[in-house]
A and B are shown apart, each in its own frame.
Chain A
Amino acid sequence: MIAQLRSELFKQRTTRAAGVLLASMAGVTVLVVCLHVFTLKTADLSQAANQPKVFGWGTTIGALFAALTGAIGITAEFRHGTIRPTLLTNPDRTRVLIAKAAAAATAAIVIGLLAAALVAAIGSIGLALRGIPITLKAGDFTQMIAGGAAGAALWAILGTGLGAILRGQVGAVIGLCVWLLLIENILIGNVPSAGKYAPGASDGALAGLMPNAGIASLLAPAAGALLLAGYAAVTAGLGLVAIERRDID
């Protein structure tokens, strides 16, 4: 198990995928936060309820890139066929997938921390430049960064499970993007009473905020953490069943 985890961590470091994901994440974060911090009206941004439109993006972007890391880690093996030598070396497919999820979660903690910290820094600088007072307290920032990292780790596990179920890289990547960037925002925006139970909104609860929702419309942090952990466990469980049952081409 430890050997397989070391191998998976080694694989992460030895292609350009990890670097490309990290750089894309930083780029997307800077772009999205700048767009919001510099285009929203001063009157709107001054209200505490609207500041998640700037600071909430760390949660969503961290979750997205964490989930992509998990999904790409497993779908790349199917895409390039390296799943065959991987499983010939270690035929215990359950252990291989768990090692992959653990390796992805490890990388996701870094991703989650970076995304939240980057959003906190750029958002704060942007608001200061515009002379708008920041309504988030130190405790909110701490929750945003720590919760964002923990949420990202869970999203990486979810992404690994999804990748094992779908196998196709394009489908997994598009699915995660559409869900996190589009569906989640529609759900929390239009039907918050149900939308707050969705996985992205659970992550928002854990981190304290997400782009279209402040703390008021979200679950309690512990409830969000539990619910997201449940989503991750169910998806990873289905992924384990899929990889154990299906033939490798």
Chain B
Amino acid sequence: MPGAISQWFSAGDYLLALPMILLSIFALGILLIDLMLPPEWKSINAWTAGIGLAFSTAAVIRIHLAYARAGQGVLSYTGFMGSMMVDRFAIYFFYLFLVGAGIAILMSAHYLEIERENHGEFYALILFSVVGMMCMAAGFDIVLIFIGLELMAISTYVLVGFLRSDRRSNEAALKYLLLGAFSSGIFAYGLSLLYGLTGSTNLQLIGEHLATHMRENPHDPIAILALVTTSTGLFFKIAAIPFHQWAPDAYEGAPTSITGFMSVAVKAAGWAMLLRIFLSGLYPMRPIYVPLLVFVAIATMTGANLAALTQNNLKRLLAYSSIAHVGYMLLGLIAGSSTTPSATGIQGILVYLLVYTFMNLGAFAVITSLRRRDVIGDEIDDIAGLITRAPAEAVLMLIFLLSLAGIPPLAGFYGKYFIFLSLIETGHYQLAAVAVLYAVFGLYYYMRIANAMFMRKAVDTRPVTLSPAMATALAITGIATVGIGIFPDLFIRAAGWSLSIAQPLQLTSLFH
């Protein structure tokens, strides 16, 4: 037996994991504090969760500054014997998760009181799911990634079914649980095949062994089976067609603030995991997975955009729209040659995830604010005539919808811009044409909501009241959606920064 075990982990490892450790401590704290709180003091839980997110953000900023001080020399900080890699890519996603969770908590505070389900567990579960997401983004070992995925998924299953007296919520949670468990099983099977082929759980080593393996045996059926099962699990988690069936039901039944959280943070975590695995572990199989991605991307854009046209439930409509956005983002991974992904494409995906976080959470914040004791408020009829009931909210919703459709100068435009640019740069003109065509479909169903808000008479003429927390959430998302659109440089540079180090580790190995 070599040395004492304490030499394996250094104090630095725990500094890298500090954002997750802090969130876990606060989540456990909320569970204990909630037991002692009288019912009228339950809003303390939201504050505790917010403070936990702030502490975690401070820990992330600390790692961020370490990179800034170290300059270009430091490639990435790895910890726990290479299983965790908190590189710039991971830090970018950490910020995304923390912002997504923060806005979701702001949206939830008043909403849970209306639903009479104001329990501390709600916030604890959100924090735990963020811990899981961070493990997915920073995991460089398939075991850590899988544990992170399960931590996130199990927390989300419970959150989806949080409205215990609501049949839709229960049904959504059960559906999500069953399909999620099934897809996790397939994913784990794929990972076990990868381990069997390469003899390692570290993504970098998997990549290296797989490269040798593919050179010797380019059409190994086991490698292809591993690729297909792994990507099935990944496609399920980001809700790409044909693995999307859970999304509309889960999104419709979940508490509205959780629908928003799932559509941005949970999805971003799925993307972080997908990019890590496809770019670091499976890159030698790129010639095989690109045709697969082309099929999935076209199916996703077609199916989701066509299905969204006829939806009358706002949450369901936005669920299909979020599936359609996944289709566009997949194109960013397709862009590039048959052996090398395009850096613009990957950067486009990161920018897309950032702008999507704000505009989609904003749209869900508006829908959440329509909820009252006696009105569920998630049908298109409920939003009709919003301009007379709450003019500011109606205008904000219009901004979010136009941004989702990708109209300049709003944030959503830049997401699509980089994706389409990367396709055109690398000669995928047909795909770019198809994607632009479907963006027009998108404009139709987003404008259907706008039409209802501005052109139709209100069914329910009472004015919409906003809690201070909800107003803050709307202000943040609104300012970000317009701000990123007007000053995109900073955010595009941030996405580029996150790739400048994370990718060369993988990309240089591709360029030889």
A pairs with B: no
Query: Which residue numbers of B lie inside 8 Å of A, CB to CB?
Result: none
| A residues lining the B interface (CB < 8 Å) | none
